[in-house]
Chains A and B, each alone.
Chain A
Amino acid sequence: MTAYILRRLLYAIPILIGVNLITFVLFFVVNSPDDMARMQLGDKRVTQEAIDTWKAEHGYDRPLLYNAEAPGLQRLTDTIFFQKSLKLFAFDFGLSDSGRDIGYDIRQRMWPSLAIALPTLLVGLAIAISYALMIVFFRATYIDFGSVVLLVAMMSISGLFYIIGGQFLIGKLFHLVPISGYDRGLEALKFLILPVVVGVAAGIGSSTRLYRTFFLEEINRDYVRTARAKGLRERVVLFRHVLRNALIPILTGVVAVLPLLFMGALIIESFFGVPGLGSYTIDAINRQDFSIVRAMVFLGSVLYILGLILTDISYTLVDPRVRLS
């Protein structure tokens, strides 16, 4: 397995270079270093001289991808792309274009993101699995039919609607929790309730439908029939046999998204005023801060690759028939 993991990690390098290159090209198609300087220096009364100084200080005075005037290998290395990308692979994110330490900001902001993402995942998982099991228990009844209609409807509603609806009902009309905001320590709890409820409600439709399919797939297997033939109660069949086997695809799916929880939820964080990594990314895009955008895309890619590797490993742990080689 070690050889497999090492191989996967080596495969990740060209993927990360590719992702970095695409991010770089996409960013500089719409922004020039001059634009970035203007964004930092402001619109009013800024001179070309000030722009040139800013670019020189921040390393944006080089050619983007190819330096025709440099000798030898420096044609590739004396470029913005190379200079800005190399340190990323050592996880040195450097300073943002406004002069802040990106690594420090990420370390600070990942906790609020996790504080929302983790409970949302766990509560959502518990509710979706329970609900899916209940639907399967009452399969081919009006409860099953009604639930599927409800779930499809929930899937079809925009996430924004849940956010605004949740803020309106729970925060504004019922006055149960603050509409938005965040705080440190235990004070954060009251701010987490609403985003978690909204996050769970927004995700319940699709996940319950998916888990229902997993359970239905299992429930027609021979071993289930055998369990019933032994005279086991349906409840026992469902919880002891069906659930245990259907959990394999569910858990491996969860493992894949676990690392990405650090990245935060873009819209939820923005609407609820949570200072997480999702709102950090959105802010950076709005401010044309290439250093942060690049760092966050890179980090997201690394975590995604990590999630896929963990998924593969988790398969071997839950299913002895699977071996990584």
Chain B
Amino acid sequence: MSRASRSLPLLLLVAAALLTACGEPPWNKPYPESQAGENILYGAFTERPKHLDPARSYSSNEYSFIAQVYEPPLQYHFLKRPYELVPLTAHALPEVTFFDADGNALPSDVAPDEIAVSEYLVEIEPGIRYQPHPAFAKDADGAYRYHDLDARTIERINTLDDLPETGTRELTAADYVYQIKRLATPWLHSPIAGLMGEHILGFAELGDRIAAQAPAPVDGERPFFDLRQVPFAGAEVVDRYRYRIRLEGPYPQFVYWLAMPFFAPMPWEAEALYNQPGMKQNNLTLDWYPVGTGPFMLSENNPNLRMVLARNTNFHGERYPSAGMPGDRAAGLLDDAGEPMPFVDQAIYSLEQESIPYWNKFLQGYYDSSGISSDAFDQAIKFDAAGEAGLTADMREQGIELVTAVQTSIWYMGFNMLDPLLGGDSERARLLRQAISIAVDFGEYISIFANGRGVQGQGPLPPGIFGHREGEAGINPYVFDWENGRVVRKPIAEAKALLAKAGYRDGRDPETGRPLTIYYEAMDAGPDGKARLNWMRKQFAKLGIELVVRATDYNRFQEKMRKGTGQVFMWGWNADYPDPENFFFLLYGPNRKVDGGENAANYQNAEFDALFERMKNMDDGPERQQVIDRMNAILRHDAPWSFGFYPKSFSLHHQWLDNVKPNLMANNTLKYRRLEPAIREQLRAQWNPPVLWPIGALIAVLAVGAIPAVLVARRRERGRAL
């Protein structure tokens, strides 16, 4: 047998293995063939979630998973705007009762000063059951199957699948109270523990009590401590389906927190399971394996590769909303009105750390929706003459749809009010800040650095938040003019005039005669930030001011902010809930950053602070709007911020994905999505036929190239030596 014929079987084997790997067309499909045609939603995540424990999680990338699993008592209406709270597991919105210092009930319209305690009574729906989970599994005697495992058994458990038996039980009010106690538990590090300590009655003391009574950690693991045994006046079970939360004084914004996963129920059985010694060593924690009542359960948690949410077989059922906004019906957003949710059986999210493969896989139909990175922006979006964003012809041809929404966020340029040059309430400093606010053209910034995805800020409140005004009534008159129905930034000459009035003619310091030097604290020290920083220098240079950039990493930046040593900086805020209080508190005097708060500009104005105190306890209405208007006027005049811009989100989805409406407050939107898998399957095959000619061409080139080489080789071998 020749050598060539001996190699043939091996070559055939390799070829067969490769073809097997490629499978049926399309070959570039990143999912197993068994998923073809299934009602599965495909998405991606770019950053692995850090926490999945609802007491700890506080970022949008984590909420996109846990909000589908955990159900707080309330949620935001999917379609209605302005954002409206509706019951989720609750029977209705909570009943609020006010009490004076002696415990007497007060009428609902009582003045906030007289309220000593606010009591929220929440009643949940009966019959809601938890997802199947080993924490609830019981043996024939009714004892919990996995709550008392020995060390050798635990050593062998690596995933929850190693505990095959599951069980469930009904959701009770006690589970909500248990979770509120978890928020106060010191070793869980809930990010809102500090805030809730200011509002929930006895919350801070509860944390101390838990710390004192709980057993000490053994080998770094905290043994199970049953929080049910710790009394807590701030949250109490009334009966099986009702619980009450007591707050110190009035805090109307509290109701929004009841729509966040922090206030989702937690069964004590879950902690009893996960807090057994050795579980944490094996990565079995509540931070990794959630237990909820929601429409989905996390069936695979491998954040290095993918996260899979599967339909919760015990889900209590919920129907798609029957009412929405004008235009929702025409947009097909009410086609599923009254239908039972969720619509998809599974959602598979793959890790995509880089934007290019993410984008290309979306175009191939392997992700159902996608954001738009800067690299792909021109390929996807074009602006018409009126500045309206639309899809390019290629995108439209593919049936891709665009959804845009102004986010409930703001990026602002802050002036440190403690700084001797820029800060304080002197006329000189105020004029200087106003001049800079005119000079730094955020319209240009949005156009250059955000591909037009933003709206210039006129105040701290973005659109969609009560108190925000559109049109001429809503402009910042110190920075913009209203001309021909449009907002126009004031000319730079006006900024220069303000600067001269402040005593800095042509941007020069009168004492030294040299250009005024201002220090800009930048957290964007990488190469990508260089263009942004150069742009910022040019904005200040329009006034003759020399901007010195002090670029550093985010840690150092935060440290400067905490110490109040910065001068000018850019920072952002993303709303926790749709209430003006959640933005104005960023400028509230007692909340200064140097005092440990979130007011990074360290701004303090007695009138503004008094109005804030008043506004935060008011119901939405004309009176509250009036107060907000005055607060905005003060801020615009004092200019502790240049109100940067409100970012605009652009997202794309394929034609087979329905019920897509941006809801910037709700995180539990997966249950509303509906798919048409047959269309997806057909288009994927159409878009991704394997192109085989390059392989043939490569073989041909190699073969043709080999011919002269073989000829030369033969000639050499047959030739004579000298």
Contact = CB atoms under 8 A, between A and B. Distances in A.
Contacts, number: 169
A179 interface: yes
A272 interface: yes
B716 interface: yes
Given A273-B357, A275-B351, A175 B691 contact: yes
A181 B30 contact: yes
Nearest to A191: B30
Contacts of B282: 101, 104
A189 B21 contact: yes
Interface in A2-25: none
Contacts of A143: 709, 712
A45 B220 contact: no
A175 B357 contact: no
B48 A272 contact: no
Contact of B187 (A53, A183, A233): A53
Interface in A126-145: 134, 137-138, 141, 143
A61 B402 CA distance: 50
Contact of B304 (A101, A235, A279): A279
Nearest to A188: B21
A287 interface: yes
Contacts of B695: 176
B22 A177 contact: yes
A84 to B, nearest CB: 13
B187 A174 contact: no
B694 A48 contact: no
B354 interface: yes
B305 A31 contact: no
A261 to B, nearest CB: 19
Contact of A138 (B51, B195, B709): B709
Contact of A189 (B20, B26, B351): B20
Contacts of B280: 95, 99
Contacts of B716: 234
Nearest to A39: B555
Nearest to B305: A275
Contacts of A167: 356-357, 360
Contacts of A104: 158, 282-283
B581 to A, nearest CB: 14
B511 interface: no
A220 to B, nearest CB: 16
A42 B58 contact: yes
B30 A180 contact: yes
B529 interface: no
Contact of B596 (A35, A41, A47): A47
A176 B691 contact: yes
Contacts of B26: 175
Contact of B287 (A99, A174, A190, A271): A99
Interface in A143-197: 143, 164, 167-169, 171-183, 186-187, 189-191, 193
Contacts of B59: 42
A175 B30 contact: no
Contacts of B50: 40, 98, 287
Contact of B194 (A45, A101, A108, A138): A45
A319 interface: no
A270 interface: yes
Given A138-B709, A235-B717, A273 B28 contact: no
Nearest to B705: A143
A233 B596 contact: no
Given A47-B193, A235-B717, A183 B304 contact: no
B353 A171 contact: no
Contact of A180 (B191, B302, B357, B717): B357
Chain B contact residues: helix, strand, loop or mixed: loop
Nearest to B576: A44
B364 interface: yes
Contacts of B517: none
A226 interface: no
Contacts of B138: none
Interface string B23-34: 100111110100
Given A100-B283, A187-B32, A279-B304, A48 B555 contact: no
B189 interface: yes
A48 to B, nearest CB: 7
Interface in B590-615: 596, 598
B713 interface: yes
Contacts of A186: 20-21
B281 A101 contact: yes
Contacts of B58: 42, 44-45
Contact of B353 (A53, A137, A235, A279): A279
Contacts of B30: 178-181, 191
A50 B690 contact: no
B189 A50 contact: yes
Contact of B361 (A48, A179, A233, A283): A179
A49 interface: yes
B553 interface: yes
A298 to B, nearest CB: 20
A50 B21 contact: no
A48, A109, A283, most chain B CB atoms within 10 A? A283
A62 B695 CA distance: 61
Interface string A284-298: 000110000000000
B688 interface: yes
B558 A38 contact: yes
Contacts of A30: 553, 555
A108 to B, nearest CB: 8
B28 A176 contact: yes
B151 interface: no
B186 interface: yes
A222 interface: no
Interface string B266-283: 000000000000001111
Contacts of B48: 283
B186 to A, nearest CB: 5
Contacts of A181: 30, 350
B287 to A, nearest CB: 6
A46 interface: yes
B281 to A, nearest CB: 6
B195 A48 contact: no
A69 B191 CA distance: 32
A194 B285 CA distance: 36
B17, B18, B351, B709, most chain A CB atoms within 10 A? B351
Interface in A265-319: 270-273, 275, 279-280, 283, 287-288
B36 interface: no
Contact of A175 (B32, B553, B558, B690): B690
Interface in B645-703: 688-692, 694-695
A41, A228, A270, most chain B CB atoms within 10 A? A41
Contacts of A283: 48
B22 A190 contact: yes
Interface in B116-131: none
Contacts of B195: 45
Nearest to B708: A143
A215 interface: no
Interface string B700-722: 00000000010011001100010
Given A44-B58, A57-B217, 9 more contacts: A98-B287, A143-B712, A175-B27, A178-B361, A189-B18, A233-B717, A235-B713, A287-B50, A288-B555
Interface of A: 30-32, 35, 38, 40-50, 53-54, 57, 95, 98-101, 104, 108-109, 134, 137-138, 141, 143, 164, 167-169, 171-183, 186-187, 189-191, 193, 228, 233-235, 270-273, 275, 279-280, 283, 287-288
20 contacts: A30-B553, A38-B558, A40-B50, A45-B194, A47-B193, A47-B596, A48-B596, A53-B186, A98-B51, A104-B158, A174-B690, A175-B691, A179-B360, A186-B20, A189-B18, A189-B20, A270-B354, A271-B353, A271-B357, A275-B351
The 6 closest A-B pairs by CB, nearest first: A275-B304, A189-B21, A35-B555, A47-B194, A180-B357, A178-B30
